Structure 1
Amino acid sequence: MKQFLVIVMMIVSFAGISQNSGKAKALLDEVYNKVNSYDNIFVDFKYALSNTKENIYQETRGDVTIQKNKYYFNYLGATQIYDGKKIYTIVPENEEVTIENKDEAEEGTITPSKMLTFYRNGYNYDWDILQNVKGRQIQYVELTPIDSNSEIKQILLGIDAKTKHIYNLIETGKNGTKTTITVNSFKTNQPISKTLFTFDAKKYEDDGYYIIRN
């Protein structure tokens, strides 16, 4: 009888996990479909990195305009442009531009163009807490890397239950480092220049920039 009860409890437990995983995936699918329905997206965000053990805390902000797989990204005083083929990283402080092929620059990283859709592959999903943040209902989904060798322990993805937009991302590394990205402003279908994602090499050469082509 005791063994039978243990088996029943295990079945109930696994059924609950499966149900929660299904709910989480359904919500993430809604987020993905919503993101893909827009012509373009502008995100202004806050980035915070902390490691209590190492006594590290850094905070900064950035913004990115995304149109399909192209993006224009401002962060830490630098600008990065992806035109669909190559990535251009412009650093005014060094008067330097680095030009890279997409695959080389993006290997193993979550790039701006993947910022709102990275969760589609490589993670197990679980339903987490619902939290009231300044009157907004934020539903969290826990993402756990499928790759056991990943340096990421866990990601909590906060989703606005009403708009289905991502509110924040909290990544905890196996080394204890916590990275939090919080969306300050999320705008869609904005009027943007046709040349926003076009890199003009001559302009920077005329300004004396050193251009590195990898």
Structure 2
Amino acid sequence: MKSNIQDSKQNYTQTMGKRLLFIMALFLFGFSIQAQDKKAKDLLDQVTAKVKSYNNITIDFKYSLNNAKENINQDSKGNVIMKGNQYVLNFMGVTKIFDGQKTYTIVPEDEEITISTVNEKDDNAITPSKMLTFFNSGYKYSMDILQNVKGRKIQYIKLVPVSAKDQRKEVLLGIDVQTKHIYNLIEVGKKGTKTTLTVNSFKTNQPLSKNQFTFAGSKYPNYYINKLD
């Protein structure tokens, strides 16, 4: 029974982790989608250029999952440090480190660490670079509403999946008009689920340790190491 509970917990955490990485890819790399709305494309290009000009990015965020029909209302907080394709993500009590080659998923509650090598040829590999490739096609996008949020002008861009198999009805990306930073991202599912990631803090070019993205096994002497390859 304990094993089943842990497996369910791990599957849920992995799903949330993948969703977070999907969202982080938007922050780190912006979009590269064929032009369908010139104003939307111009704004996305500005966001991409701005983000790529930074040496590193540190984000504190709030993540909300809501489904009124299923009576689901969950909020979580997390943070991520990104440099190039490397990152350290802390979310839902789990730390995920990607050093550019391997991913280390650290789960303190279970005292377990999962290590896996990223295969660049694997289309299912959850990496920022693969997510960038994914967004090269498959979406129609256009300018949406402009909102005033606490004195900030937030311009939304709507992305609609082309595939009928996609479980998302639409994705709304909120961009701060002045800073060209992403304020939030909203996914609306076809079954009524809405997930929202809101940036609480966006810092750039912070001093980082040379070992910031290096996994140190000595910090976890009693943890079970699960090597997937």
**Residue type of the alignment partner of 2:67:** N
CA RMSD of superposed structures (Å): 2.4
Matches within 5 A, 1:87-106: 87-103=103-119
Q: Does 1:210 align with 2:224?
A: yes
Q: Does 1:37 align with 2:53?
A: yes
State the Cα distance separating 1:101 from its structure 2 match.
Answer: 2.2
**Residue type of the alignment partner of 1:80:** K
- Structure 2 residue matching 1:93: 3-state secondary structure: coil
Distance 1:194 1:47, change over 3 A: same
Distance 1:135 1:108 in 2: 39
State the Cα distance separating 1:22 from its structure 2 match.
Answer: 1.3
Larger Rg belongs to = 1
Residue in structure 1 matched with residue 43 of structure 2 by the alignment:
27
State the Cα distance separating 1:202 from its structure 2 match.
Answer: 3.6
Distance 2:135 2:179 in 1: 19
State the Cα distance separating 1:145 from its structure 2 match.
Answer: 1.5
1:48 paired residue among 49, 59, 64: 64
Mapped contact 1:32–1:117 kept (Cα < 8 A): no
Distance 1:161 1:145, change over 3 A: same
State the Cα distance separating 1:97 from its structure 2 match.
Answer: 0.3
Residue in structure 2 matched with residue 11 of structure 1 by the alignment:
none
When normalised by structure 2's length, the TM-score is: 0.77
- Structure 1 residue matching 2:165: 3-state secondary structure: coil
**Residue type of the alignment partner of 1:199:** F
Distance 1:118 1:167, change over 3 A: farther
Cα shift readout 1:40-84 (whole Å, capped 9, x = no counterpart)? 000000000000110100001000000010000000111000000
When normalised by structure 1's length, the TM-score is: 0.83
Cα shift readout 1:132-160 (whole Å, capped 9, x = no counterpart)? 00000000000111322111110000000
Distance 1:119 1:168, change over 3 A: farther
State the Cα distance separating 1:95 from its structure 2 match.
Answer: 0.7
Distance 2:85 2:36 in 1: 31
Cα shift readout 1:171-196 (whole Å, capped 9, x = no counterpart)? 00112110000000000000011101
Distance 1:149 1:103, change over 3 A: farther
Distance 2:186 2:102 in 1: 29
Mapped contact 1:143–1:156 kept (Cα < 8 A): yes
Distance 1:194 1:41 in 2: 15
Task: Give ranges in structure 1 of 5+ residues lacking alignment.
Answer: 1-18
- Structure 2 residue matching 1:94: 3-state secondary structure: coil
Aligned residues: 192
Residue in structure 2 matched with residue 133 of structure 1 by the alignment:
149
Distance 2:163 2:198 in 1: 26
Q: Percent same amino acid among aligned pairs?
A: 55
Distance 1:167 1:130 in 2: 12
Distance 1:147 1:71 in 2: 30
